[in-house]
Amino acid sequence: MSELPRRREYAPLIGKKILVGLTASSAIYKSIDLIRELIRMGAKVKAVMTDEALEYISPKLIEWATGNEPLIELSGKAEHVALSNEYDALIIAPATLNTISRIAYGIVDQALHLLAVAVMGKKKKLIIVPSMHMNLFKSPQYGKAIKILEDLGAYIIPPFIEENKAKYPPLNDLVYCIETLINRGRDLTGKKLLVTAGPTREYIDPVRVITNPSSGYMGVLIAREAVCRGAKVDLVHGPIYIDPPYTVNTYNVTTTSELAKKISDLTSVKKYDAAIFAAAPADYTVTEKSPKKISTREVKHLILRLRPTPKTIKYISKSNRPEKIIIFVAETTNDHEELVKKARQKLIEYGADIAISNNVKEPGIGFSSNYLDACIVMRNKYECLGLVRKEIIARKIIDLVI
């Protein structure tokens, strides 16, 4: 008997019914985690298996994961019609070249293939997650089949390329993209975004640094939201402890000066539709770094002379300014009125279009947290959201970019 996982606090798939198609790939075991995560996010899930998938995984395990029996064969009761009417989307993960090709060319000799065609006929969302050997992934047959499906309106979530294989994507990225495609779609296709994330470090000596508690989570969420909605994203990040999305271009920096230089380099050669500065650069660095570790036995009272680091946003190329510039402002204020006032000052100072002003006065909010106490501030209007999850902030920011 199945015991379904507990729903998460943040469950953006509440009320959604999702079909998960399973095909004959060695990556099929990862779809158990996918199914359970979709349920945690609020979805009702039913699985559909190809005949060949039965050689890789037991339908009993799938029944345990979903709470209901998987569909394998049609009984003559037109299950494909009923399911395409009832469910909101079909995700095929993993999707083999065999299954992708059959759906593309309308070869509907199994329940999953026929269901995929019915889902598209009903204008519901078909999401395909390819997983195969690199030789197959690079084949002209795969390219043709994928183009047919995309032209027909299917969404393709790119595989994770590693070890000369087109692998199943990391679960966090995959689930986030599925939720994004179901609830919002791919409305950022053709857009180019620059995003910064995380803290920077300024070294006092080879082992000690000046930094801040930023985790980089906010910037990573923004990059993930944007790339899932179809944008091409360059993510410049400091030392972060969470994996950036596998589908973005990443540039790793350490110091504030390195961050400023990378911003200058990228904006000089690329025209971005938006630049979103979610990083938290260290504001000060030492005037003189010690070349060796400072001994606590020899130096009992350490006095540091500090100087300001570069204001990274000012290193945007003046001749190639992004269409929109969005900045994050962390303050410690007593009320939202003061928060908005300080944000508007920063908008003017940096020539930005939008400021996400967040109050980090209270513990557990802001840096290294899932929540912000935030206001979205523009020159002539603002919206204070109060305490809100960072996923919602990321979505609202990308909505503003559009």
pLDDT at 258 over 70: yes
What six digits make up the tokens of 353?
């279009």
* pLDDT at residue 1 in the model: 58
Q: What is the pLDDT of residues 379-390, one digit of tens each?
A: 899 999 989 999
**Lowest-confidence segment of 113-117, 146-150, 277-281, 329-333 by average pLDDT:** 329-333
- Looking at the fold, whether 168 and 291 belong to one and the same domain comes out as no
Instruction: Tell me the three state secondary structure of residue 344.
Output: helix
Q: 3 lies in a domain?
A: no
- Looking at the fold, whether 202 and 273 belong to one and the same domain comes out as yes
Q: 385 lies in a domain?
A: yes
* pLDDT at residue 2 in the model: 66
The H-or-E segment that residue 250 falls in is strand 249-252
Q: Is the peptide bond before 94 cis (omega within 30 degrees of 0)?
A: yes
Q: Which residues partner with 329 through β-bridges? A: 357
- Looking at the fold, whether 312 and 167 belong to one and the same domain comes out as no
CATH number at residue 243: 3.40.50.10300
pLDDT at 334 over 90: no
- Looking at the fold, whether 68 and 119 belong to one and the same domain comes out as yes
Higher-pLDDT residue of 331, 131 = 131
pLDDT at 402 over 70: yes
pLDDT at 222 over 90: yes
Q: 318 lies in a domain?
A: yes
* pLDDT at residue 243 in the model: 94
- Looking at the fold, whether 325 and 382 belong to one and the same domain comes out as yes
**221 confidence band (pLDDT: 50, 70, 90):** very high
Residue carrying structure tokens 């080879």: 206
In 3D space, the residue among 150, 107, 144, 148 whose CA is nearest the CA of residue 127 turns out to be: 150
- Looking at the fold, whether 335 and 374 belong to one and the same domain comes out as yes
Higher-pLDDT residue of 331, 27 = 27
Count CA atoms closer than 13 A to 51's CA, side-chain side.
7
Q: 160 lies in a domain?
A: yes
* pLDDT at residue 86 in the model: 96
| Cα dihedral across residues 229, 232, 235, 236: positive or negative | negative
pLDDT at 336 over 70: yes
Contact 305, 288 (CB under 8 A): yes
What dihedral angle (degrees, nearest 10) is formed by the CA atoms of 260, 262, 265, 270? Answer: -110
Counting residues of the chain whose pLDDT is more than 90, the rounded percentage is: 87
* pLDDT at residue 37 in the model: 98
Q: 266 lies in a domain?
A: yes
Mean predicted confidence (pLDDT) in 290-302? 90
Instruction: Tell me the three state secondary structure of residue 297.
Output: coil
Q: Which of 156, 183, 210 is the last residue of a domain?
A: 183
**299 confidence band (pLDDT: 50, 70, 90):** confident
Q: What is the pLDDT of residues 79-136, one digit of tens each?
A: 899 999 999 999 999 999 999 999 999 999 999 999 999 999 999 999 999 999 999 9
For residues 159 and 129, what is the distance between their CA atoms, to the nearest angstrom? 7
* pLDDT at residue 74 in the model: 85
- Looking at the fold, whether 151 and 60 belong to one and the same domain comes out as yes
- The phi, psi pair for 5, rounded to 5°, reads -70, 155
Q: What is the pLDDT of residues 168-194, one digit of tens each?
A: 999 999 999 999 999 999 999 999 999
Helices (H), 283-380: 336-350
- 20's CB contacts (< 8 A; 6+ apart) are 31, 34, 35, 38, 45, 46, 47, 48, 66, 90, 91, 92, 93
- Looking at the fold, whether 53 and 162 belong to one and the same domain comes out as yes
Mean predicted confidence (pLDDT) in 308-333? 94
- Looking at the fold, whether 212 and 165 belong to one and the same domain comes out as no
Mean predicted confidence (pLDDT) in 211-218? 93
pLDDT at 364 over 80: no
CATH number at residue 179: 3.40.50.1950
- Looking at the fold, whether 156 and 249 belong to one and the same domain comes out as no
Mean predicted confidence (pLDDT) in 19-34? 97
Q: Which of 158, 183, 208 is the last residue of a domain?
A: 183
Q: 2 lies in a domain?
A: no
Q: Which of 165, 183, 201 is the last residue of a domain?
A: 183
What six digits make up the tokens of 268?
């000089």
Mean predicted confidence (pLDDT) in 128-153? 97
Q: 294 lies in a domain?
A: yes
Instruction: Tell me the three state secondary structure of residue 303.
Output: coil
Contact 120, 153 (CB under 8 A): yes
Mean pLDDT across the chain, nearest whole number? Answer: 95
Q: Which residues partner with 277 through β-bridges? A: 196, 327
What is the domain extent for residue 120?
A: 17-183
Q: How many residues does the chain have?
A: 402
pLDDT at 27 over 80: yes
- Looking at the fold, whether 242 and 259 belong to one and the same domain comes out as yes
What six digits make up the tokens of 267?
């904006």
- Looking at the fold, whether 51 and 154 belong to one and the same domain comes out as yes
For residues 286 and 343, what is the distance between their CA atoms, to the nearest angstrom? 28
**297 confidence band (pLDDT: 50, 70, 90):** confident
Q: 226 lies in a domain?
A: yes
Number of domains observed in the structure of the chain: 2
pTM higher than 0.75 for the full model? Answer: yes
* pLDDT at residue 300 in the model: 83
